[in-house]
């Protein structure tokens, strides 16, 4: 694997990074920080290199992926890089007829609504995404001791795009399938779990030192529905990559009422949005997990003092936790002033230096 090309020295420096220590709930020199969607439209250097290149095309160009992934590390001094891609990339790679439309997001030409539609979703082979293996090889060489986070969409969130045919506020077609044909739904989620697990394995084998499962839209479900209709598939994904020993992060939005169950799915780190303070989130998640989060991304639009007050609140709520990775409660908003992000990284590092 690409990992073999790294020196033992680099591997152990990465292993000992603040980010991976926090994920393992070990003592840290400072609270590590990274931002979901840290690479993207908030950065002028991103807009420049992406000019004239469609989103999905950019994900298939290893040199460009490497450059974009490194941009926020260089600019903000964050403690981890996240692989530049999108949750629909593995679906595109197995031949799903989809595109990422500017200003909209992923759009699927023929949504999945029937058993015949499901049969079109084949399993993912590593050779379907050789550009991912290549990019991660380049990246781990450039990153030095900075860990690289691989990621994938969770079965529910992927199913939502596939069944709706695009972004959705109410997930009505998705829920119609979930309630109306529980067996087809279970088979769809199980297939997506296999695809997702295969995609995460490719990234770990290429050199990613942690993985995050994005279940962004799962907060649309009640705990009972989550337990019955979603948890088994997400648990299958975490289980499939457990033996690698790399930290597994699990994130969703609006999951306050689901945190107890998310604590049982199999992740090592649970990501939390800004609607619930981290000390309360820790009580709900239960022992044995690190937490990630959770400043409201919209707070970054306020003056510096207000951002720092909010960051202080997050740090205070996390003070008693064995492991805390500082992050936003959801992705960086495209119009965020990048200076504000850089200052936030500095603030958290300064305030938590031990």
HSE-CB at 278 with a 13 A cutoff on CA atoms is 31
Nearest distance from residue 336's CB to ligand 1CP, in Å?
12
| Window contacting ligand 1CP (CB under 6 A); options: 38-46, 107-115, 128-136, 284-292 | 38-46
What is the chain's Cα-based Rg? 19
* Bridge partners of residue 295, in order along the sequence: 328
For ligand 1CP (CB under 6 A), the number of binding residues is 21
The answer to the question of residue 100 lying near ligand 1CP (CB under 6 A) is yes
**Which one, 185 or 214, has the nearer CB to ligand 1CP?**
214
Residues 266-305 that bind ligand 1CP (CB under 6 A): none
The answer to the question of residue 95 lying near ligand 1CP (CB under 6 A) is no
**Which one, 38 or 66, has the nearer CB to ligand 1CP?**
38
Residues 209, 241 contacting (CB under 8 angstroms): no
Q: What is the distance between the alpha carbons of residues 305 and 317, in angstroms, rounded to a whole number?
A: 18
The answer to the question of residue 245 lying near ligand 1CP (CB under 6 A) is no
Query: Which residues, at least 6 apart from 176, have a Cβ–Cβ distance to it below 8 Å?
Result: none
- The Cα-based distances of 354 to 29, 336, 345 in angstroms read 5, 30, 16
Q: Which residues are catalytic?
A: 37, 41, 50, 86, 161
The answer to the question of residue 40 lying near ligand 1CP (CB under 6 A) is yes
Characterise 289 by phi-psi region: left (phi > 0), alpha (psi -120 to 50), beta (else): beta
| Closest residue to ligand 1CP, based on beta-carbon distance | 105
Nearest distance from residue 116's CB to ligand 1CP, in Å?
26
Nearest distance from residue 259's CB to ligand 1CP, in Å?
17
| Window contacting ligand 1CP (CB under 6 A); options: 34-42, 178-186, 293-301, 339-347 | 34-42
Nearest distance from residue 217's CB to ligand 1CP, in Å?
7
| Residue 41 buriedness (CB in 10 A; 0-12 / 13-18 / 19+) | middle
**185-195 exposure pattern, b = at least 16 Cβ within 10 A, e = fewer:** bbebbebbbbb
Residues of the shown chain interacting with ligand 1CP in the complex, contacts defined by CB under 6 A: 36-41, 55, 82, 84, 86-87, 100, 102, 105-106, 151, 157, 167, 214, 216, 331
User: Per the annotation, where are the binding residues?
Assistant: 37-41, 86, 161, 216, 330
């Amino acid at each position: 694997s690409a990992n073999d090309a790294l020196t033992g020295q680099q591997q152990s420096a990465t292993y000992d990074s603040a980010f991976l220590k926090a994920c393992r709930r070990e003592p840290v020199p400072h609270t590590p920080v990274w931002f979901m969607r840290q690479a993207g439209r908030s950065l002028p250097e991103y807009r420049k290199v992406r000019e004239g290149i469609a989103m999905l095309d950019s994900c298939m160009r290893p040199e460009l992926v490497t450059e974009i992934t490194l941009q926020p590390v260089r600019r903000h001094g964050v403690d981890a890089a996240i692989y530049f891609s999108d949750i629909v990339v593995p679906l595109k790679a197995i031949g799903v007829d989809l595109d990422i439309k500017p200003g909209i997001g992923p759009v699927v030409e023929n949504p999945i609504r029937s058993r015949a539609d499901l049969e079109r979703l084949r399993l993912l082979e590593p050779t379907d995404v050789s550009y991912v293996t290549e990019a991660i090889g380049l990246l781990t060489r450039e990153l030095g001791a900075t860990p690289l986070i691989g990621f994938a969409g969770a079965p529910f969130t992927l199913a939502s795009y596939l069944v709706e045919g695009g972004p959705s506020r109410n997930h009505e077609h998705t829920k119609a399938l979930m309630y109306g044909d529980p067996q087809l739904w279970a088979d769809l989620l199980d297939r997506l779990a296999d695809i997702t697990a295969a995609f995460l394995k490719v990234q770990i084998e290429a050199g990613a030192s942690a993985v995050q499962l994005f279940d962004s839209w799962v907060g649309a479900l009640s705990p009972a529905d989550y337990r019955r209709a979603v948890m088994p598939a997400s648990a299958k994904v975490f289980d499939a990559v457990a033996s690698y020993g790399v930290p597994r992060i699990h994130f969703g939005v609006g999951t306050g009422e689901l945190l107890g169950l998310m604590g049982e799915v199999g992740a090592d780190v649970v990501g939390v949005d800004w609607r619930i303070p981290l000390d309360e989130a820790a009580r709900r998640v239960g022992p044995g997990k690190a937490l990630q989060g959770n400043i409201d991304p919209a707070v970054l639009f306020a003056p510096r003092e207000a951002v720092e007050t909010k960051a202080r609140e997050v740090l205070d709520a996390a003070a008693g936790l064995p492991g805390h990775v500082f992050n936003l409660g959801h992705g960086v908003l495209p119009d965020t002033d990048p200076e504000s992000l850089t200052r936030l990284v500095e603030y958290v590092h300064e305030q938590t230096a031990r």
